[in-house]
């Protein structure tokens, strides 16, 4: 059984896919299996993938006959095939340093309570040229699950999936049902996981996050980040994560402010989610 199952979900990233797969296979930590999933790409991704079929570490190559409509359906498919103790979703347009896995696994051995480990990233454009770094964490640190969740319900602190490894036992439970999301499934996934485990972060920049698409203004994308993002409140278990009254009220105010610019129908739906979260909180802590 491998220590790490690397899942590479691809859709139309022919340009970057070879570099991605090679950066996985070039890891200094070698106890891995690689699962490559293609979501019915319309470019020449299949030709790139087939170049790696004979590598013994590539245990599965799966081509979808039709596009799934959600990257998180592909995550779940890969996790169900995986055998490793740790899951690494290595997105097909990112890449990493050879020491990525070795460094993160070393941190998990030093911090045995951690079920998520991730590292600082270089934020690069389509040509791999680094731009402004937007990472929220800059140093090596450890956070309890409760500490991490209280930050996670305001913004997704694990800003790039490729920078992160997650214990498979937690990942399999957390991914269930997230295939309905198009943008924020990772945010909800991490919120679910961290209610049961802790987090460790390396301040070393070992991951390269392809951020070219973020430079394109997209009202639809911004809308999804609010209409889907507010659902992190639905997945909070207030018996596992203990908010003080002040902390919780500040959280409610934040999400009402955050979603205030949405169109009326979306805003009402978001505020209903906030209200339901408030009701659940006060049912558990009425005083």
CA distance 98 to 42: 30
227 and 206 in a common domain: no
Containing domain of residue 252, as a range? 219-284
CATH number at residue 188: 3.90.550.10
Are 204 and 223 found together in one domain?
no
- 250 shares its domain with 119: no
Judged against a pLDDT cut of 70, whether residue 191 lies above it is answered with yes
Percent of the chain with pLDDT over 70: 96
Note the pLDDT of residue 225: 84
- Point out the domain boundary residue: 174, 193, 210: 210
Both 198 and 244 in a single domain?
A: no
Is there a single domain that holds both residue 110 and residue 240? no
β-pairing verdict for 164-167 and 114-124: antiparallel
The residues facing 121 across adjacent strands are: 207
Residue 132 CA from chain centroid, whole number: 21
> For residue 16, what are its two tokens?
């970057």
CB half-sphere exposure, 55, CA atoms < 13 A: 19
- Per-residue pLDDT of 66-86, as tens digits, reads 999 999 999 999 999 999 999
Q: 84 Cβ partners below 8 Å, 6+ apart?
A: 1, 2, 3, 4, 5, 32, 33, 168
pLDDT tens for each residue of 89-140: 999 999 999 999 999 999 999 999 999 999 999 999 999 999 988 899 999 9
Residues 22 and 109 reside in one and the same domain: yes
Alpha-carbon gap, residue 78 to 18, rounded angstroms = 19
pLDDT of residue 284: 82
Q: How many helices (H) and strands (E) does the chain have?
A: 10, 9
3-state secondary structure of 59: strand
Residue 287 pLDDT > 60, yes or no? Answer: no
Instruction: Specify the pLDDT at position 285.
Output: 73
Query: Do 194 and 246 lie in a common domain?
Result: no
Judgement on whether residues 201 and 237 belong to the same structural domain of the protein: no
- Residues 246, 157 share a domain: no
What average pLDDT does the segment 167-192 reach? 96
* Crossing angle of the two packed helices 185-194 and 145-152, in degrees rounded to 10: 150
Mean pLDDT of the chain: 94
- What pTM does this model have? 0.95
Same domain assignment for residues 119 and 24: yes
3-state secondary structure at position 67: coil
Q: Is 274 in the same domain as 180?
A: no
Q: Which of 163, 192, 210 is the last residue of a domain?
A: 210
pLDDT in tens, 192-242: 999 999 999 999 999 999 986 554 445 566 788 899 999 999 999 999 999
Regarding whether 235 and 169 lie in a shared domain, the answer is no
Residues 6+ positions from 19 with CB-CB distance below 8 Å: 95
Which element (helix H / strand E) includes 95?
Answer: strand 95-96
Q: How many domains does the chain have?
A: 2
Model pLDDT, residue 217: 42
Domain boundary among 210, 234, 268: 210
Instruction: Give DSSP secondary structure letters for 135-203.
Output: -S--S-EEE-HHHHHHHHTTS-SS--GGGEEEEHHHHHHHSTTGGG-SSSHHHHHHHHHHTSSEEEEEE
Residues 6+ apart with CB under 8 A from 72: 175, 178, 179, 181, 185, 186, 189
């Amino acid at each position: 059984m491998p220590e790490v199952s690397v899942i590479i979900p691809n859709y139309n990233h022919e340009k970057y896919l070879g570099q991605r797969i090679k950066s996985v296979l070039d890891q200094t930590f070698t106890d891995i299996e690689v699962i490559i999933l293609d979501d019915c790409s319309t470019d020449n991704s299949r030709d790139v993938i087939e170049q790696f079929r004979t590598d013994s570490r590539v245990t599965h190559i799966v081509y979808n006959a039709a596009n799934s409509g959600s990257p998180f359906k592909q995550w779940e498919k890969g996790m169900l095939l995986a055998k490793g103790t740790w899951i690494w979703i290595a997105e097909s347009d990112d890449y990493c340093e050879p020491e990525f896995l070795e460094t993160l696994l070393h941190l998990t051995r030093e911090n045995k309570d951690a079920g998520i480990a991730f590292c600082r990233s270089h934020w690069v454009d389509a040509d791999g040229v680094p731009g402004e770094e937007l990472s929220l964490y800059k140093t090596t640190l450890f956070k309890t699950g409760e500490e991490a969740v209280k930050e996670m319900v305001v913004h997704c602190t694990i800003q790039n999936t490729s920078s992160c490894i997650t214990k498979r036992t937690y990942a399999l439970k957390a991914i269930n049902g997230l295939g309905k999301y198009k943008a924020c499934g990772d945010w909800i996934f991490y919120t679910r996981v961290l209610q049961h485990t802790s987090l460790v972060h390396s301040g070393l920049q070992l991951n390269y996050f392809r951020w070219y698409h973020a430079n394109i203004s997209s009202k639809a994308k911004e809308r999804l980040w609010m209409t889907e993002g507010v659902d992190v409140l639905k997945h909070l278990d207030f018996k596992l994560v203990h908010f003080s009254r002040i902390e919780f009220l500040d959280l409610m105010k934040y999400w009402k402010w955050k979603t205030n610019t949405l169109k009326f129908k979306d805003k009402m739906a978001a505020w209903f989610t906030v209200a339901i979260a408030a009701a659940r909180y006060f049912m558990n802590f009425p005083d």
